[in-house]
């Protein structure tokens, strides 16, 4: 979009959704701006003309945008508070090239795909997470979450416009609950505004049930048709389900329970094992790198199916990060690990590398550096209890690393299908408030997300409120392990497969021969055990074949 004012010409390139468009519109009209339409693109561009670089201080939404200012001869780039929308860039011969996908940058002449030592550390040490601001490719960067950048004749300069600030929490339990409920309802209802079909994802877990409850009530109050909800399942999953610490029960009972209590129209998407494995390559292409294996491909297929009827969905993503819902907030082995608690299999990761590369690349040293660098950014208060101080650190790591990985996954898998996911729990105002709640209150009654459960006890079924945290559903069908094992075996039968240049062939064969038991504990997050590791290795080979990066050690 191009707009001309008395100060010159402004051109915007924008991806996202601004949730406080109404308030911005009123400000612009009060200050003499004329508006031609109702799009948030026009509101955003004219808000920049009005506020200048401070525009980011007035935005609530998901966004990545660039604005060219002909008057100052500057390009202004910005990304939302939590980096829900991606924005990549590189510099070549004094030229800035930017895009919402890494693959787009490679369309520009002269930009090379290079995997150097740092990239290998990111891919196999940190991955499928990544260090904020970096990618696995040499000289390819991202605008960090909550940052803006200015590119002009003096070069590229970046600035941070927002961060979580530590301060004493003085509200009592009742006031805290009232404020959280208000912030949640305000975030959810503001994100329901859409001129295209909108739904919610409903797993029957606490987080998606909260989103769906508020959304369904809003629809009913406004006299709208019943809210559409969607869940994902897998062929024969109930038959093959096995309880674990990370996944104690299946979803279907709880989904049915919520549907009985709400004015909704529910749809169940059922995915078969072959689809899940066959979509691994598409999921890798969507991310431009190997990712969370079938945790990615299942969401990609879910969005693909929902997109046949809907365009936007609200999801319960990020409640665990904001409110302290993961096992590693409570498990001593994770808290005392001295590393990212969702990724403690460091020696196994090192062993995955080709011995010639392993001799040159020390993953633990790199991981330790990034871990300590990140922790140095945490502000601990003198008034914090020892437990609150400890949990501030783990929360900081979770918000800036693990949550970022899940947000990347959500946006890439959805947008690959022309579908948009919105994450109301990621409202920066809610995160700001909850950040400073003492751990003793946040983990009320010693439960994960104890405070959030307490708030919901009056408007959700008690079975949902008391349900133990259960992560995004994965397949338990043994045919999936057989399928990915067969795929990886086929790759390893070819001694010239590109994966052999990077990884330890003998160790991969050992993993194959163990039939998925080599990694009995999750090697990333909560779900990625043996089958997911095999699928990830398949993605690595697919990535090497498709992107053909030059390897520089």
Model confidence at 5: pLDDT above 90? no
Task: Kindly state the average pLDDT of the residues 362-389.
Answer: 97
Model confidence at 491: pLDDT above 50? yes
- Per DSSP, helices labelled H in 265-362 are 273-278, 280-287, 294-306, 319-323, 332-335, 346-352, 355-358
What confidence tier does 261 reach under pLDDT thresholds 50, 70, 90? confident
Both 216 and 137 in a single domain? no
Model confidence at 124: pLDDT above 80? yes
Contact 64, 16 (CB under 8 A): yes
pLDDT tens digit sequence for 210-225 = 999 999 999 999 999 9
Both 199 and 149 in a single domain? no
What confidence score (pLDDT) does residue 335 get? 87
For residue 448, what are its two tokens?
A: 């994960």
pLDDT tens digit sequence for 273-286 = 889 999 999 999 99
Of 175-189, 227-241, 307-321, least confident by mean pLDDT is: 227-241
Domain-located, residue 524 = no
Both 246 and 355 in a single domain? yes
pTM of the model: 0.94
Where residue 76 sits, what CATH number does that domain have? 3.60.20.10
Both 118 and 143 in a single domain? yes
Of 248-262, 263-277, 487-501, 510-524, least confident by mean pLDDT is: 510-524
Alpha-carbon radius of gyration of the chain: 23
What confidence score (pLDDT) does residue 242 get? 56
What confidence score (pLDDT) does residue 259 get? 85
What confidence tier does 450 reach under pLDDT thresholds 50, 70, 90? very high
pLDDT tens digit sequence for 150-181 = 999 999 999 999 999 999 999 999 999 999 99
Contacts of 282 (CB under 8 A, 6+ apart): 297, 300, 416
Both 429 and 306 in a single domain? yes
- pLDDT, the chain, mean: 93
What confidence score (pLDDT) does residue 3 get? 93
Model confidence at 400: pLDDT above 70? yes
166 Rama class: left (phi>0) / alpha (psi -120 to 50) / beta: beta
- The CA distance from 10 to 262, in Å, is 47
pLDDT tens digit sequence for 504-543 = 999 999 889 887 666 556 778 766 777 888 999 999 999 9
Model confidence at 332: pLDDT above 80? yes
pLDDT tens digit sequence for 86-113 = 999 999 999 999 999 999 999 999 999 9
What confidence score (pLDDT) does residue 530 get? 77
Closest CA to 448 of 227, 242, 206: 206
Total count of domains within the chain: 2
Compute the C-alpha angle 469/472/473, nearest 5°.
Answer: 105
Model confidence at 475: pLDDT above 90? no
Both 200 and 278 in a single domain? yes
Q: Which of 447, 466, 485 is the last residue of a domain?
A: 466
Model confidence at 331: pLDDT above 80? yes
- The CA distance from 134 to 312, in Å, is 29
Both 78 and 125 in a single domain? yes
Both 344 and 231 in a single domain? yes
Both 10 and 155 in a single domain? yes
Range of the domain at 462: 174-466
Both 181 and 91 in a single domain? no
User: DSSP letters of 48-60?
Assistant: HHHHGGGGGGG--
Q: Which of 466, 501, 523 is the last residue of a domain?
A: 466
Q: Above pLDDT 70, what percent of the chain? A: 94
Q: Among positive and negative, which fits the CA dihedral 106, 107, 111, 113?
A: positive
Q: Which of 450, 466, 482 is the last residue of a domain?
A: 466
Where residue 189 sits, what CATH number does that domain have? 3.40.50.620
Cis bond before residue 128 (omega within 30° of 0): yes
Both 386 and 296 in a single domain? yes
- The CA distance from 269 to 308, in Å, is 12
Maximum Cα–Cα distance across the chain:
71
What confidence tier does 265 reach under pLDDT thresholds 50, 70, 90? very high
Domain-located, residue 499 = no
Name all contacts of 173-180 with Cβ < 8 Å and 24+ positions apart: 173/441, 173/444, 176/437, 176/441, 176/451, 177/451, 177/454, 177/455, 179/433, 180/430, 180/433, 180/434, 180/451, 180/452, 180/455
Element (H, E) at 483: helix 478-492
Task: Kindly state the average pLDDT of the residues 363-373.
Answer: 97
Model confidence at 246: pLDDT above 50? no
pLDDT tens digit sequence for 343-354 = 988 998 999 999
What confidence score (pLDDT) does residue 109 get? 96
What confidence score (pLDDT) does residue 435 get? 98
Domain-located, residue 500 = no
């Amino acid at each position: 979009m191009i707009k001309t004012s008395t100060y010159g010409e402004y051109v915007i390139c924008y991806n996202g959704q601004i949730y406080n468009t109404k308030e911005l519109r009123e400000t612009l009209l009060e200050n003499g701006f004329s508006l031609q339409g109702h799009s948030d693109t026009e509101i955003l561009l004219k808000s920049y003309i009005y506020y200048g670089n401070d525009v980011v201080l007035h935005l609530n939404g998901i966004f990545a945008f660039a604005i060219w200012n002909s008057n100052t001869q500057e390009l202004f780039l910005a990304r939302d508070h939590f980096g829900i929308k991606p924005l990549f860039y590189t510099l070549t011969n004094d030229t800035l090239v930017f895009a919402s996908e890494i693959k787009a940058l490679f369309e520009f002449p002269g930009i090379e795909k290079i995997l150097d030592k740092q990239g290998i550390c990111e891919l196999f040490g940190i991955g499928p997470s990544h260090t904020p601001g970096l990618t696995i490719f040499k000289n390819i960067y991202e605008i960090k979450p909550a940052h803006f950048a200015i590119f002009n004749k003096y070069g590229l300069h970046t600035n941070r416009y927002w961060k979580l600030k530590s301060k004493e929490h003085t509200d009592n339990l009742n006031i805290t609950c009232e404020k959280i409920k208000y912030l949640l309802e305000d975030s959810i209802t503001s994100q329901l505004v859409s001129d295209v079909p909108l739904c919610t994802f409903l797993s029957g877990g606490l987080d998606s049930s909260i989103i769906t409850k508020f959304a369904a009530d809003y629809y009913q109050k406004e006299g709208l048709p019943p809210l559409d909800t969607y869940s994902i399942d897998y062929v024969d999953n109930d038959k093959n389900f096995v309880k674990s610490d990370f996944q104690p029960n299946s979803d279907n009972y709880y989904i049915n329970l919520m549907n009985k209590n709400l004015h909704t129209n529910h749809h169940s998407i059922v995915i078969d094992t072959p689809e899940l494995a066959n979509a691994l390559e598409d999921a890798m292409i969507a991310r431009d790198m190997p990712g969370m294996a079938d945790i990615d491909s299942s969401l990609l297929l879910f969005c693909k199916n929902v997109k046949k009827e809907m365009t936007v969905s609200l999801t319960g993503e990020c409640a665990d990060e904001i409110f302290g819902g993961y096992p590693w907030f409570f498990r001593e082995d994770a808290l005392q690990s001295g590393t990212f608690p969702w990724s403690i299999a460091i020696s196994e990761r090192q062993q995955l590398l080709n011995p010639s590369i392993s001799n040159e690349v020390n993953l633990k040293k790199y991981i330790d550096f990034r871990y300590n660098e990140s922790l140095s950014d945490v502000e601990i208060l003198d008034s914090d209890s020892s437990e609150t101080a400890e949990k501030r650190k783990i929360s900081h790591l979770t918000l800036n690393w693990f949550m970022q990985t899940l947000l990347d996954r959500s946006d890439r898998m959805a947008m690959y299908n022309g579908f948009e996911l919105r994450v109301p729990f990621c409202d920066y105002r809610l995160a700001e408030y909850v950040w400073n709640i003492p751990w003793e209150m946040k983990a009320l009654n010693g439960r994960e997300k104890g405070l959030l459960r307490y708030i919901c006890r009056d408007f959700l079924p008690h079975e949902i409120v008391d349900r133990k945290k259960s992560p995004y559903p994965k397949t338990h069908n043994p045919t999936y392990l057989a399928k990915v094992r067969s795929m990886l075996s086929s790759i390893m039968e070819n001694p010239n497969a590109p994966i052999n240049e990077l990884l330890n062939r003998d160790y991969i064969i050992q993993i194959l021969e163990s039939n998925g038991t080599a990694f009995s504990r999750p090697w990333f997050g909560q779900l990625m055990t043996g089958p997911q590791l095999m699928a990830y290795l398949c993605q690595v080979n697919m990535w090497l074949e498709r992107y053909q990066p030059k390897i520089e050690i």
